[in-house]
A and B are shown apart, each in its own frame.
Chain A
């Protein structure tokens, strides 16, 4: 019988097959490290007197709790500063390369991997961060791990892993104008639920997925974890190879040819069988927004806040009632009438250059609505510099937005970029959990064009809702 993409990558990394009931031992090709989930792992190595087995397959960056302003000054929050200093000390002590604040390759760990070319098809990639699923867009088996596993990979460059099941998510047809890969993944999560992918590796397939750019594919795979799946993958194709080819860590010369030859075999065989299959029609999709406090609680922008009374399942009803209370929303309110205080554009979900171009396209010649704060945070220093080169920063500033340094920022509110109690945000990030973006903050997950249009109108909107932009004056 044929093998799925995920199974092929798994098979290529088995160091030792587990006996019955025992996990397989898998080799890890790339280990990404950041300041928050690594200090206790390095402590564990020190206590046991163990070195990092493969510093040359390990890379660190600072992203989760660093500030996005005044980055040339010492970090004001002393606890954050200690954590960042600890990462720098550990990297120096154990010989791990680090991209610190101020480094050209600093940025969100899941933006840095792809942009440097370290993320390649068929690799196993891990990081102490659940959004490691992002790298699956290259046909890599990439997943988030806990700190004990971080220590395990540092010490052995392997992980014992129990087998997973496979699920095909086929997105047929063409995406309508104004919809994006973010709308695909929000619709997938609303369909299968936040637990629907548990125990599975997802493979996104179909015409609509093939048609996506590499950066849009990263957005889809990024949120696999929001459907409960540790990993999500897309088979590599010519777009994937073209994206990698000019990156610093791409194989060169004959090695490139050897790599492409293997990468080209990384697709699910025609006679392979998935454990589960889900089909979505792209033509039916429209801009999607969340109304509740988990990423599965989403509806089309044209819909209204759902009524818990109408929900058949008692558990779902109780959860929806809690969500609406926390979100301060009444059932039946049209989503388009929900006014926001803040718009956040950024994160490992939507903080790449393509996202900033889309946002600038909507904001050009327009102004952010009175009383609304727009925060644009590039995913990495290189994304920031590219945006400046293209003049996108000026578009954001002219519109009345804030233009920040690179990092995770308001996605998880570990640094000072936080919502306050009751503050409502449209956010291009990945989680609308209670308090995620700041204690008491209320989050609506949206696509980049919806975020930008919402900033202009002040209520949840798509670019189609906007009046024509001002034209530059003739001189």
Chain B
């Protein structure tokens, strides 16, 4: 299904001063039993949200939509539910100095922008957001910049993901434009490649 095109987004920035935020922290396994694709916001950071001092329990941050996290965000399990939970809660952008590969891929498929920026810039942005809780961050995907007050930070996102996000394109539709190439490849596959159908043993 086509996604809503992403050009710019402005919203409250949330400083998450943690590294190695694995997807078990983003949404614990007990929340993964649902068969729907929405309604995962209650599972977002579920264990940490029991702690009153957790940043999303602080008033201006509660309404955040731009998450600024430490290195190695989204490690561990491949669960796309982590992206759904962030989006269902209201996040449109995650900025971090390093993302796990699978999480980054999942984000791109769901229209959640995962922008990679230097750790020094992450630290500066944390300070800005902590000094002025509720400060807005404007993320411009075309320019690949995040602006907070008068500070402008650049972030990286690969050209292909950026194009797809800006166009709101559906991956499966794009691939099916090349169905002839898939047919041709299948015609050449060795016959001994295994099939999952029952075999006599």
Q: When the two chains form their complex, are residues A128 and B178 in contact, meaning their CB atoms are under 8 A apart?
A: no
Q: How far is the CA of A30 from the CA of B199 in the complex (A)?
A: 16
Q: When the two chains form their complex, are residues A15 and B171 in contact, meaning their CB atoms are under 8 A apart?
A: no
Q: Which residues of A contact B185 (CB under 8 A)?
A: 15, 27
Q: When the two chains form their complex, are residues B109 and A79 in contact, meaning their CB atoms are under 8 A apart?
A: no
* Interface flag for B143 (CB, 8 Å): no
Which of A53-61, A360-368, A370-378, A467-475 binds B? A53-61
Tell me, rounded to whole Å, the shortest Cβ–Cβ distance linking B33 to chain A: 4
Q: When the two chains form their complex, are residues A148 and B80 in contact, meaning their CB atoms are under 8 A apart?
A: yes
Q: How far is the CA of A36 from the CA of B25 in the complex (A)?
A: 17
Q: How far is the CA of A97 from the CA of B196 in the complex (A)?
A: 7
Q: How far is the CA of A129 from the CA of B32 in the complex (A)?
A: 13
* Interface flag for A120 (CB, 8 Å): yes
Which single member of A48, A129, A431 contacts B24 (CB below 8 Å)?
A: A431
Q: When the two chains form their complex, are residues B98 and A319 in contact, meaning their CB atoms are under 8 A apart?
A: no
Instruction: Specify the chain B residue showing the minimal Cβ separation from A316.
Output: B19
* Interface flag for A180 (CB, 8 Å): no
Q: When the two chains form their complex, are residues B78 and A128 in contact, meaning their CB atoms are under 8 A apart?
A: yes
**Complex interface residues of chain A between 280 and 301 (CB less than 8 A to chain B):** 294
Which of A167-175, A251-259, A304-312, A386-394 binds B? A251-259
Give B101-130 as 1s and 0s: 1 = Cβ < 8 Å from A's Cβ atoms.
110011001100000000100000000000
**Complex interface residues of chain B between 42 and 83 (CB less than 8 A to chain A):** 47, 70-72, 75-81, 83
Q: How far is the CA of A444 from the CA of B38 in the complex (A)?
A: 34
Q: How far is the CA of A123 from the CA of B189 in the complex (A)?
A: 11
Which single member of A228, A230, A248, A251 contacts B192 (CB below 8 Å)?
A: A251
Q: Which residues of B contact A322 (CB under 8 A)?
A: 18
Q: When the two chains form their complex, are residues B80 and A25 in contact, meaning their CB atoms are under 8 A apart?
A: no
Q: When the two chains form their complex, are residues A228 and B75 in contact, meaning their CB atoms are under 8 A apart?
A: yes
Q: When the two chains form their complex, are residues A414 and B101 in contact, meaning their CB atoms are under 8 A apart?
A: no
**Complex interface residues of chain A between 312 and 327 (CB less than 8 A to chain B):** 315, 318-319, 322
Q: When the two chains form their complex, are residues B110 and A22 in contact, meaning their CB atoms are under 8 A apart?
A: no
Which of A39-47, A264-272, A344-352, A398-406 binds B? A39-47
Tell me, rounded to whole Å, the shortest Cβ–Cβ distance linking B101 to chain A: 5
Q: When the two chains form their complex, are residues A195 and B98 in contact, meaning their CB atoms are under 8 A apart?
A: yes
Q: When the two chains form their complex, are residues B75 and A40 in contact, meaning their CB atoms are under 8 A apart?
A: no
Q: How far is the CA of A294 from the CA of B71 in the complex (A)?
A: 13
Q: When the two chains form their complex, are residues B80 and A147 in contact, meaning their CB atoms are under 8 A apart?
A: yes
Q: When the two chains form their complex, are residues B20 and A194 in contact, meaning their CB atoms are under 8 A apart?
A: yes
Which of A150-158, A234-242, A446-454, A457-465 binds B? A150-158
Q: When the two chains form their complex, are residues B181 and A21 in contact, meaning their CB atoms are under 8 A apart?
A: no
Q: When the two chains form their complex, are residues B76 and A80 in contact, meaning their CB atoms are under 8 A apart?
A: no
Give A197-236 as 1s and 0s: 1 = Cβ < 8 Å from B's Cβ atoms.
0110000000000000000000000000110101000000
Q: When the two chains form their complex, are residues B194 and A152 in contact, meaning their CB atoms are under 8 A apart?
A: no
Q: When the two chains form their complex, are residues A146 and B29 in contact, meaning their CB atoms are under 8 A apart?
A: no
Q: How far is the CA of A86 from the CA of B78 in the complex (A)?
A: 20
**Complex interface residues of chain B between 153 and 201 (CB less than 8 A to chain A):** 158-160, 171-172, 174-176, 178-179, 181-182, 185-186, 189-199, 201
Which single member of B1, B24, B47 contacts A47 (CB below 8 Å)?
A: B1
Q: When the two chains form their complex, are residues B160 and A21 in contact, meaning their CB atoms are under 8 A apart?
A: yes
Q: When the two chains form their complex, are residues A83 and B33 in contact, meaning their CB atoms are under 8 A apart?
A: yes
Q: How far is the CA of A21 from the CA of B24 in the complex (A)?
A: 32
Task: Please judge, given known A-B contacts A48-B172, A160-B175, A198-B98, whether A258 and B192 are in contact too, CB under 8 Å.
Answer: yes
Tell me, rounded to whole Å, the shortest Cβ–Cβ distance linking A99 to chain B: 10
Q: How far is the CA of A316 from the CA of B194 in the complex (A)?
A: 46
Q: Which residues of A contact B199 (CB under 8 A)?
A: 248-249
Q: When the two chains form their complex, are residues A25 and B24 in contact, meaning their CB atoms are under 8 A apart?
A: no
Tell me, rounded to whole Å, the shortest Cβ–Cβ distance linking A101 to chain B: 16
Which single member of B20, B28, B101, B197 contacts A199 (CB below 8 Å)?
A: B101
Interface residues on A, range: 35 or more
Give B4-32 as 1s and 0s: 1 = Cβ < 8 Å from A's Cβ atoms.
00000000000001111010110011101
Q: When the two chains form their complex, are residues B174 and A129 in contact, meaning their CB atoms are under 8 A apart?
A: no
Q: Which residues of B contact A65 (CB under 8 A)?
A: 32-33
Q: How far is the CA of A259 from the CA of B190 in the complex (A)?
A: 9
Instruction: Specify the chain B residue showing the minimal Cβ separation from A21.
Output: B159
Q: When the two chains form their complex, are residues A256 and B192 in contact, meaning their CB atoms are under 8 A apart?
A: yes
Q: How far is the CA of A108 from the CA of B71 in the complex (A)?
A: 31
Q: Which residues of B contact A77 (CB under 8 A)?
A: 33
Q: When the two chains form their complex, are residues B28 and A435 in contact, meaning their CB atoms are under 8 A apart?
A: yes
Q: How far is the CA of A291 from the CA of B32 in the complex (A)?
A: 27
Q: Which residues of B contact A155 (CB under 8 A)?
A: 172, 175-176
Q: How far is the CA of A256 from the CA of B158 in the complex (A)?
A: 42
Instruction: Specify the chain A residue showing the minimal Cβ separation from B197.
Output: A56
Q: Which residues of B contact A39 (CB under 8 A)?
A: 35-36
Q: Which residues of B contact A86 (CB under 8 A)?
A: 35
Q: When the two chains form their complex, are residues B109 and A148 in contact, meaning their CB atoms are under 8 A apart?
A: yes
Q: Which residues of A contact B196 (CB under 8 A)?
A: 30, 55-59, 97, 118, 249
Q: How far is the CA of A57 from the CA of B185 in the complex (A)?
A: 15
Which single member of B25, B36, B182 contacts A433 (CB below 8 Å)?
A: B25
Tell me, rounded to whole Å, the shortest Cβ–Cβ distance linking B130 to chain A: 15
Contact sample, A vs B, 26 pairs, CB 8 Å cutoff = A21-B158, A21-B159, A25-B175, A27-B186, A29-B193, A29-B194, A48-B1, A53-B182, A65-B33, A79-B34, A118-B196, A123-B193, A144-B78, A147-B80, A149-B105, A156-B176, A160-B171, A198-B98, A226-B76, A249-B199, A256-B192, A259-B192, A315-B71, A412-B77, A414-B30, A435-B24
> What 7 A-B pairs are tightest by C-beta distance, nearest first?
A148-B109, A146-B106, A146-B80, A255-B192, A39-B35, A144-B78, A251-B192
Given contacts A65-B32, A79-B34, A198-B101, could you give 6 more A-B pairs where the C-beta distance is less than 8 Å?
A22-B160, A30-B194, A40-B36, A152-B172, A155-B172, A431-B76
